[in-house]
A and B are shown apart, each in its own frame.
Chain A
Amino acid sequence: MATKLNNSARIKLVVLLIFACLMVAALWKSDTFGRQVAAQGATPPPAPAPAAAAATPEPPRLEGCIKCHNNIEPMHKYTATGDVYDKLVDGKDAQGMSCTACHGGNPAATTAKDAHVQPKFPKEWGCKNGECGSNNPERSNTLLAKESKEFVRFVNPSDFRVISQACGECHSDENHNVSRGMMAHGSMLWGAALYNNGGFHMKDTQFGESYNEEGIAQALIQQPAPSREDQAKKGHLPFLEPLPRWELSQPGNILRVFERGSRRRLEVGNPDKEEEPGKPDKGLSPRGLGTGNRTDPVYLGLQKTRLLDPTLNFMGTNDHAGDYRAAGCAGCHVIYANDPSKAASGPYARSGNQGFSESADKSIPRLESGHPIKHQFTSAIPTQQCMTCHMHPGTNMVATYLGRTWWDNESDGKYMYPQDKQINPSQSDEIRKLDKNPEGSSLRGLWSDSVFLQKTGTSDFNAQLKNVQFADTHGHGWMFKNVYKKDRKGNLLDKEDNIVPSGDPNKWNKAVHLQDIHLERGMHCVDCHFRQDSHGTGILYNEPRAAVEIGCVDCHGSVKAKANTITSGPAAMPPPRGEITQRERANKPVIGRDLTRLRFRAPDGRRLPILEVLTATTARNKKCNDENGKPIAFKAGDIVQNAIVESGKCWKVTQTVDTVTTGNVDYNEKSSYAKTMQRDNKTWGDAKASEEMLAHRESSMTCYACHTSWVTSCFGCHLSMEANRKTPMRHNEGGDSRNFTSYNFQVLRDDIFMLGKDGTVTGHQVAPVRSSSAVLVSSRNQNREWIYSQQQTLSAEGFSGQAFNTHVPHTVRGKETQTCSDCHVSKDKDNNAWLAQVMLQGTNFVNFMGRYVYVAATHSLDAVAVTEHTEPQAVYGSNLHKLAYKDNYEKFVREGRELEEVYENKGRPEVLQVQVRGEYAYVAAGKGGLRVYDVAQIDHKGFSERIVTAPVSPLGQKFYVDTKYAAAVAAPSTLAVDPTRWRTVRNDDGSLKQVPPDEALRLNAEAKAAGKAAPAVNEEGAIHPLYAYLYVADREEGLILVNAATLLDGDPRNNFLSRSLTYNPGGALTGANNITIAGNFAYVTTAKELVIVDISTPLQPKVTAQITLNGPKSVAVQFLYAFVVDADGLKVLDIREIQSTGAVRLVEGAMVPLKHAHDIYVARTYAYVANGEEGIAIVDVERPEQPRLDQTFNAEGTINDAHAVKVAMTNASLYGYVADGKNGLKILQLTDPETMPNYAGFSPRPEPRLIATFKTKGEAVGLSKGLDRDRGADESGNQIAVFGRRGARPFAYEEVMRMLRTNSGTGEFFTVSDQPVK
């Protein structure tokens, strides 16, 4: 038969055979057989428990994890009854939690491979051959949101995504509150950035970060919805949305490049024939807002920059000392080694700053960064743990609490930049370095190298430095320096206010390090911000302080009474019902938690109250040592605080009332003087005087308005965007895309103090104010063209985006507080400049000049490039240039310090004076009248003509106003302010609409009178209409007002300027040659007079005063005085009454004779006078009524035709810019950290040095003033710059007067002495 088999049958047979074989093979591999195979395998399964075994107690079977991790610390250390566990018991911690109860995984497995949860993204978790790294990966960004829930839980059971399966099971309230708290959603950061820079028009933030279990973004909704009242007064928010995609954001700030009119998009390798050479299409998208690249860079920044992240949703970047931390609960409660300083890290200081593990679990690698110190929860959270997030920005309150702030990138730079050769980073270096540290200067410095970075902050490194001392923690790769006590001249001071000589080798120990006194006494953040402040309440808040329950008085009491120990901050919540009744009976506040009832777990397991009010018995038994190790004497009635972090420590809390009560051991005369001084500026000492009588009332002032030793100010953060950067999105879905914004702080100061009115949530009290970075923005497109460069932003409702905010500086000191003369006119009248700063009027000191200096060169307008293009933007020839650009500097010096890069536009007919604001330059063109030049393309390499007088013909716009002879032009401010914007109002039904600003103010005033929530929800004040105009001083026509608001509105088609008003009453202004605007007044100089014109109603001006002078040329106003130069020299006017009575007094005898004075510029306590052929006269005006010629500088005779002078600051140094007539532009370095130990003072004596020159073709007769970065309000109290808290603002005129005059600002001007007057 076989022989009969044909081919087809054979094939069938073969197929069947194969089938049979496969069947056998499959069954063999499948379970049926597999089970038997497994049974005979090397690792037998646990034998089924025989019935007999149940009878005898068997030791509990341990989880497989213990096989490797047997020595690991118990995560929970305490039982409910206070037993302390040092080790796991039966594989469980004090709360009976086994490993897998939190981490998941397979408890039965005994090999890591079987037991450990496997990630979805093994590469990102450092896995090799199935074994993953146990440390937190570097810069994992949104990895946690993308991972599987199982793995997230395995890595960190306290992560918010999985918390309900672990921590949340027992700590459900904390789970709820923390995951909806500020530290999780971070909304205040996004809200401030968006509102201040015009990206969004609601001041109460709308956006926050949160993820659901699947890692998907989610909105947080407040249930029940907060009432309008709670929203307005307590800062509660109804919801927070995830950030919208930035690709769809629509720019709020319509810079020129965002205007309509773009023609095309460019394609790689496919040129457009229509593109005009030398005039690229400037647009970002041929379509509408929010298409193509016509999007808002702020939204992009929020997703991508490192400045505002990460929040607790994600882990730290784990790439620098200071960045090691986990996410979720462990973000705070599990300590990582980040800072070896005792002050910051307390008991954890000895663990160093490398994020190394000290766990007894031997399976954790020892010398690997990114591990917690121990596998253990703690409530003893050191300040440094807070700092791992609260270092953004480096001027934040945790840094200041530690007495630190960002380094300025210049001081002691010779140790920080390479000494032999400058670093020219390659493109790939740039990206690699910026990924770790987003600050542009680091590319040129040594500190981007992690080995070098690790050295900085050590005592060896600090020992060689002469100007700064670094901290030994470097979150984000940043350098933090210590802040020391200084006088206004910049000299270091010791405890007794003696000057510490700069050459003293022991100076850093003698000078006072201005740490917060609470820190100095051993208090960490958590010793004041207790559970609720950290965990939140589950309510969504609009600003951090709205979420704070603690207040100074809660522990320290008031002038009148001891502390009632009940929290009283904006977020203070009602206690349990029973306690309310008790308090009612005791006549205590019913809102707030009682700190004597609030307990924490001490390291020995005991539960201790935070505060104790000692009785006679407890006072006897209480044993604590002070910081010097001596026992503290307690008595009944003392309020004592027990330390949470520093084990066994306690403090007797000083009571304010004791310091003002004579005879009390804590009595302090100065304290009494300050706190009991009455409004007549004479009577003091009566602590019982009624609140109404007191000058410094608790109801209207924050404690820290005075108890602040220093205030940090970051003047000028340059946010510079590059299109060609593949960078990750650090929130939501993650992923890479184009565009990255580096940030570059420019001027970091700790020398100033400013005050303003706090926001609505915090009760409109007087509070310290700081600069919120004074942001400047730049952007480079795909062709690396600067499509806008160093531009200011505008906030949503029209104030300048050079933002300020009221804040709690966290720099409380006992002795180094603000004193009387820090806020009031001193008896020596030597604090005029200081007070100008305090009142936010600015001091022309930290002004921003930028890369281009605009020179009125008679025949042309010249924009001279004076700085390097990359960060740090060092002025050519300066000390910083030498440090950071050694090779460029040497070449520059070799070639004679001549500047080369200039862009010019021929004057029409001439250029006599120039002021740049935003993307326009205003020019006084003599017979040409007022001319506006478009300078938007000044830094755009694609343009052959970078300055134009008119982008289109006069038919399409009018960028000029003809006048007979415009001698001078003044913009009322160098800040861009838009008074024409409408305000957002909430209707009764909750919907929103915009109304004119006047209408909004009216509605809010009505609501305030009725005690209702403000309908104009942003609660912004008025923008004075005078800011809508340009002011031209015409030799023949007098004062001319030109409305320039259309230049700001984002519509290029309505840019037709026209004269709004000509004012020359009786020819009083004929011969006008110069004009300065200060507050509601225009100071116009004519041939014989100074005419002061009131422009408080701009279109109805009136002459306030006329002062006869000898050919006045220029005026500078500083607070209570105006300085004027005429043919005799510098004279001083007392203008304190100008707004009240209009009286102006020429101060007799206050005169510095100068022969050729043309122009005056006052920067803090020095006036700089362009003194013609004699060069620059520097006049000391610290005491304005006694001006004194300090020095004359002419650079060895080379400055001999000085016409104008301006001053500005770059990094740590001050620069002078001189229009030196026929010689052109001269740049002087006025202060220098290398040569002047006191460079960082409020007003160090300048030591000018010529560093660069530029020869203009025509005579250099004028210079544009730099951007005022410290001017939040003008001399009349009109707000100019935006304030970052709803309802916060600078002082109004009347409020300033209250600080200067008795009788609530209507009486006599008074002076004060810092020593109590008996």
Chain B
Amino acid sequence: MSSGFTKLAVWLMALVIIGSTSALGQSSGGRLTGKVTGNDGKPLVGVTVSLINQTNSDSRQTRTRADGSYSIKLGNGAYRISVTAPYEARFDRGKAAEYGTFANIICSAPQVCPTLENVIIDGTERKLDFPVVDRTKAVTADGKPVAPPPPNTREVRDRWRYLFPDYDRYGDQGARGRDVPFRRGKWYNPYDQNKIKGDIPVIGNDYFVILSAVSTTGVELRRTPSGNNVSSANPDSNNFFGRPESFSFNQTLQLSFEFFKGQTTFKPRTWAVKISPTFSIPNYLNARENGIVNIDVRRGTTRTDTQVSLEEAFAEVKLFDTNKNYDSVSLRAGIQAFNADFRGFLFSDNNLGGRVFGAFSNNKSQFNLAYFRQIEKDTNSGLNSMRRLRPQDIYIANFFRQDFLTKGYTIQAVAAYNHDRADTHYDQNGFLVRPAVVGSARRHSIKAGYLGFNGDGHIGILNLSNSYYYAFGEDDFNPIAGRKTDISAHMAAVEASIDRNWLRFRASMFFASGDNDPTDDKARGFDAILDDPNFVGGQFSYWSRQGVRLVSTDIGLVQPNSLLPSLRSSKIEGQANFVNPGIFIYNVGVDAEVTQTIKTVFNANYLRFHRTEPLEYVLFQPGVRHEIGYDLSLGVVYRPLLINNLTFTFGSNIFLAGKGFKDIYTDRPRNCPIPNFCTGDVPNPSKPQYTLFSQMKLIF
């Protein structure tokens, strides 16, 4: 009973509060009553009487009762009275005095006066009787129903869906896929205008939806050095190195759903939400040795796995416009793509974080203040593994300034901080990646700061892209050094090119400092946070594309999609390692726009280690030389329709091992003390390393 009473009391109180507020809003008023009759003088039921306050435009309605009467309470003021369709009131100009002192009768024709104005409500009850006619029952003199005149206007509430007339400008309906104006989109055609691609709002004028799907199909055949490990797939094999070829097939499908308020391009978005579930179906690898696809050699040499991930899941809100140039500042929180510099040297990932970004001074300056809490990555697909967060915090602030010194050249300053805490983590295939299994594999934390200065654009006829980073901080226990180390490392990159009509001649250089003393308390090798660079050939070059493992350790000489010989266990799952050999890469290249639809990219790189001491130390192999080798690559991008919805990419590269590389990957000691004694199988790198890949990208 007690609870029942409490409920009742709360309800009553709520009622009273609501009642009193509404009463407060309407401090004084009166009542309008009256009777509505039909043409024949009989009362009409169910006529909606509409009243509009003439000063504040408030609209009120009431319906007549069975006796034709109506009654409505109104605040003080002047009202316009009419009835809604199908009825129409008939006020009588002759009775103006009866209607009130100020009565104003509005007529659309003589004797057709459906509106009465200046019905004054001033605290008393007013009575107002009037007749109405049913317009649907209007008849002409000879008894036929009056047909309404054909409309001479048509409301166009939605100007987005104007159907332009068909227009075939050259009489060929847009042959060979040429774009022709006024072509109507279909929902299943992602290229032309489409409501589900955000061209047309889904609600009102400001709410849009973008649905998209990206399918990427890749096949790759490669040869990279691989260890023979503990159990060779080939029972007769007794070599230190295994058979290096492998084949992979990769199918990913990214669906994405985006909903936003604003406009596709003509306004910064007021807010947006986007979610992109991504499926790796499947990720297939066929290697030729055991222990590659999984630490468990019983798993054999092939692996097929699938992965579901969210590569984007964020909400964005515009905080404010900075000026009338439509520069604005927005906040984006959630899983999002972010690239910290022009070429992806430091951090380029889709990950969980918050980012305030924006522009000012007519978009001349842009900035980001970003924080990322890394989601663990899936080992094989590289996608976000939605299972756990990693104890790693990344802070990045950067600032862009366009037209620096000269028009068309943008500079950028970056400050970043990577706090990667001590942790233990085994990857999907069972390998321990944190801490890395090298030296003293102990959990350790890294606090690394980065200061960078980058540039991109052109100065006169010279295209220029340049980058410099200084890394500093500490690793509380570097596994190679076996001690706490202070980080002090550098990275520099510069690419210069000149365009000559359809050709671009390029030369570039990349440098990451190496550590000359792996065991001291200084770590001088440069490592990034999570790099994914497009440089010296990008995805087409061997060194950049392939991960090369250091056999006999569980670390990589270089990680896939990285240029840094960082000796990490894994780029995406491991920790940064600043005790590494560092690298010099010298590149020349030519890009050619062969046709409107085909672009080719040729690169020749020469690579050298900066310092080999860390390698010698890790491999227990003295005398590793500096030369890594030559990396030649050719890439072709083909867009048969000259549009993005279908793209083919073909790449091939060949890596000719240099002396240093051979030193690492040959099981024959360079200086065999006894001739012929050391002869084993043909050393692994003596055959050129290569990649052949092709990719098809379909975008809806």
User: Are A and B co-members of a single complex?
Assistant: yes
Do A278 and B502 form a contact, CB below 8 Å, given A210-B153, A725-B326, A992-B165? no
Which residues of chain B are within 8 angstroms of A241 by Cβ–Cβ distance?
156, 162
CB pair A222–B52 under 8 Å, yes or no, is no
Which residues in window 723-746 of A have CB below 8 A to B? 724-726, 732-733, 735-739
Which residues of chain A are within 8 angstroms of B149 by Cβ–Cβ distance?
223
CB pair B502–A950 under 8 Å, yes or no, is yes
CB pair B321–A726 under 8 Å, yes or no, is yes
CB pair A248–B324 under 8 Å, yes or no, is no
Query: Which one of A145-153, A1174-1182, A1194-1202 is at the interface?
Result: A145-153
Taking the closest CB of chain B, its distance from the CB of A614, in whole angstroms, is 39
How many Å lie between the Cα of A784 and that of B408 in the bound state? Answer: 10
CB pair B78–A955 under 8 Å, yes or no, is no
CB closest chain-A residue, reference B151: A221
Taking the closest CB of chain A, its distance from the CB of B139, in whole angstroms, is 22
Which residues in window 7-22 of B have CB below 8 A to A? 9, 12-13, 16-17, 19-20
CB pair A116–B348 under 8 Å, yes or no, is no
CB pair B54–A105 under 8 Å, yes or no, is yes
Interface centre among A19, A247, A982, A993 (most CB of B within 10 A): A247
CB pair B13–A251 under 8 Å, yes or no, is no
Do A108 and B102 form a contact, CB below 8 Å, given A273-B343, A278-B499? yes
CB pair B362–A784 under 8 Å, yes or no, is yes
How many Å lie between the Cα of A115 and that of B53 in the bound state? Answer: 11
User: Is A763's beta carbon under 8 Å from chain B?
Assistant: no
Q: How many residues of A contact B (CB 8 A)?
A: 146
CB pair B407–A105 under 8 Å, yes or no, is no
Do A942 and B501 form a contact, CB below 8 Å, given A100-B54, A248-B199, A288-B183? no
How many Å lie between the Cα of A407 and that of B171 in the bound state? Answer: 45
How many Å lie between the Cα of A953 and that of B591 in the bound state? Answer: 11
CB pair A219–B191 under 8 Å, yes or no, is no
How many Å lie between the Cα of A292 and that of B208 in the bound state? Answer: 13
User: Is A261's beta carbon under 8 Å from chain B?
Assistant: yes
Which residues in window 218-268 of A have CB below 8 A to B? 218-224, 241-245, 247-248, 250-252, 254, 259-265, 268
CB pair A150–B504 under 8 Å, yes or no, is no
The answer, among A244, A431, A944, for a CB contact under 8 Å with B499, is: A944
Do A956 and B594 form a contact, CB below 8 Å, given A26-B20, A210-B153? yes
CB pair A982–B19 under 8 Å, yes or no, is no
How many Å lie between the Cα of A265 and that of B361 in the bound state? Answer: 21
CB pair A150–B28 under 8 Å, yes or no, is no
Which residues of chain B are within 8 angstroms of A952 by Cβ–Cβ distance?
502, 593-596
Do A269 and B358 form a contact, CB below 8 Å, given A248-B162, A724-B327? yes
CB pair A201–B167 under 8 Å, yes or no, is yes
Which residues in window 130-163 of B have CB below 8 A to A? 149-157, 159-160, 162
User: Is B643's beta carbon under 8 Å from chain A?
Assistant: yes
How many Å lie between the Cα of A981 and that of B182 in the bound state? Answer: 16
The answer, among A16, A98, A106, A265, for a CB contact under 8 Å with B54, is: A106
Which residues of chain B are within 8 angstroms of A949 by Cβ–Cβ distance?
501
Taking the closest CB of chain A, its distance from the CB of B361, in whole angstroms, is 7
Taking the closest CB of chain B, its distance from the CB of A968, in whole angstroms, is 24
Taken residue by residue from 1 to 35, chain A's Cβ proximity to chain B (1 for < 8 Å, 0 otherwise) reads as: 00000001000100110110011011001110011
Which residues of chain B are within 8 angstroms of A61 by Cβ–Cβ distance?
101-102
User: Is B241's beta carbon under 8 Å from chain A?
Assistant: no
CB pair A26–B458 under 8 Å, yes or no, is no
Taken residue by residue from 974 to 995, chain A's Cβ proximity to chain B (1 for < 8 Å, 0 otherwise) reads as: 0000001110100000001111
Which residues in window 352-383 of B have CB below 8 A to A? 357-359, 361-364, 366-368
How many Å lie between the Cα of A23 and that of B407 in the bound state? Answer: 73
CB pair B263–A737 under 8 Å, yes or no, is yes
Taken residue by residue from 96 to 132, chain A's Cβ proximity to chain B (1 for < 8 Å, 0 otherwise) reads as: 0010110011111100001111101000000000000
How many Å lie between the Cα of A106 and that of B182 in the bound state? Answer: 51
CB closest chain-B residue, reference A1054: B176
Taking the closest CB of chain A, its distance from the CB of B694, in whole angstroms, is 18
Taken residue by residue from 289 to 332, chain A's Cβ proximity to chain B (1 for < 8 Å, 0 otherwise) reads as: 11111001000000000000000000000000000000000000
CB pair A944–B458 under 8 Å, yes or no, is yes
How many Å lie between the Cα of A443 and that of B328 in the bound state? Answer: 25
Do A46 and B122 form a contact, CB below 8 Å, given A106-B77, A247-B264, A1053-B597? yes
User: Is B457's beta carbon under 8 Å from chain A?
Assistant: yes
CB pair A269–B266 under 8 Å, yes or no, is no
How many Å lie between the Cα of A968 and that of B56 in the bound state? Answer: 76
Taking the closest CB of chain B, its distance from the CB of A1274, in whole angstroms, is 24
CB pair B594–A953 under 8 Å, yes or no, is yes
How many Å lie between the Cα of A1288 and that of B684 in the bound state? Answer: 82
Taking the closest CB of chain B, its distance from the CB of A1002, in whole angstroms, is 15
How many Å lie between the Cα of A250 and that of B73 in the bound state? Answer: 54
User: Is B461's beta carbon under 8 Å from chain A?
Assistant: yes
The answer, among A19, A274, A942, for a CB contact under 8 Å with B12, is: A19
User: Is B115's beta carbon under 8 Å from chain A?
Assistant: yes
Taking the closest CB of chain B, its distance from the CB of A299, in whole angstroms, is 10
CB pair B595–A953 under 8 Å, yes or no, is yes
How many Å lie between the Cα of A712 and that of B485 in the bound state? Answer: 81
CB pair A106–B16 under 8 Å, yes or no, is no
User: Is A957's beta carbon under 8 Å from chain B?
Assistant: yes
CB closest chain-A residue, reference B163: A244
Which residues of chain A are within 8 angstroms of B155 by Cβ–Cβ distance?
212, 216-218
User: Is B666's beta carbon under 8 Å from chain A?
Assistant: no
Which residues of chain B are within 8 angstroms of A277 by Cβ–Cβ distance?
342, 456-458, 463-465, 495, 497
User: Is B430's beta carbon under 8 Å from chain A?
Assistant: no
Do A29 and B181 form a contact, CB below 8 Å, given A212-B153, A261-B642, A952-B595? no
CB pair B190–A19 under 8 Å, yes or no, is no
CB pair A165–B462 under 8 Å, yes or no, is no
Taking the closest CB of chain A, its distance from the CB of B438, in whole angstroms, is 30
The answer, among A243, A956, A980, for a CB contact under 8 Å with B595, is: A956
Taken residue by residue from 438 to 473, chain A's Cβ proximity to chain B (1 for < 8 Å, 0 otherwise) reads as: 000000000000000000000000000000000000
CB pair B321–A724 under 8 Å, yes or no, is no
Which residues of chain B are within 8 angstroms of A34 by Cβ–Cβ distance?
23, 27-29
Do A278 and B54 form a contact, CB below 8 Å, given A29-B23, A941-B403? no
Which residues in window 406-447 of A have CB below 8 A to B? 427-428, 431
How many Å lie between the Cα of A120 and that of B58 in the bound state? Answer: 11
Do A944 and B408 form a contact, CB below 8 Å, given A22-B13, A107-B120? yes
Taking the closest CB of chain A, its distance from the CB of B198, in whole angstroms, is 9
Which residues of chain A are within 8 angstroms of B176 by Cβ–Cβ distance?
1051, 1053-1054
How many Å lie between the Cα of A845 and that of B150 in the bound state? Answer: 55
How many Å lie between the Cα of A1106 and that of B78 in the bound state? Answer: 91
CB pair B23–A269 under 8 Å, yes or no, is no
Interface residues of A (CB under 8 A from B): 8, 12, 15-16, 18-19, 22-23, 25-26, 29-31, 34-35, 38-39, 45-46, 48, 60-61, 63, 98, 100-101, 104-109, 114-118, 120, 148-151, 164-165, 169, 172, 180, 201-202, 210, 212, 216-224, 241-245, 247-248, 250-252, 254, 259-265, 268-279, 285-293, 296, 427-428, 431, 724-726, 732-733, 735-739, 782-784, 905, 941-945, 948-953, 955-957, 980-982, 984, 992-996, 1049-1054
Instruction: Pick the 7 closest A-B CB pairs, nearest first.
Output: A956-B595, A278-B463, A278-B458, A244-B162, A26-B20, A944-B458, A106-B78
Interface residues of B (CB under 8 A from A): 2, 5-6, 9, 12-13, 16-17, 19-20, 23-24, 26-29, 52, 54-57, 73, 77-78, 80, 101-102, 104, 106-108, 115, 117-118, 120, 122-124, 149-157, 159-160, 162, 164-171, 176-183, 185, 190-194, 197, 199-200, 205, 263-267, 321, 323-327, 330, 337-339, 341-344, 348, 357-359, 361-364, 366-368, 398, 400, 402-403, 407-408, 456-458, 460-465, 495, 497-504, 532-534, 538, 591-598, 642-644
Q: List 29 A-B contacts (CB under 8 A).
A: A45-B123, A104-B117, A105-B54, A108-B120, A118-B57, A148-B57, A218-B154, A259-B179, A260-B179, A260-B642, A263-B644, A268-B363, A270-B339, A271-B342, A273-B532, A275-B456, A276-B463, A277-B456, A287-B643, A287-B644, A724-B327, A738-B267, A941-B408, A945-B499, A956-B598, A982-B168, A1052-B642, A1053-B596, A1054-B176
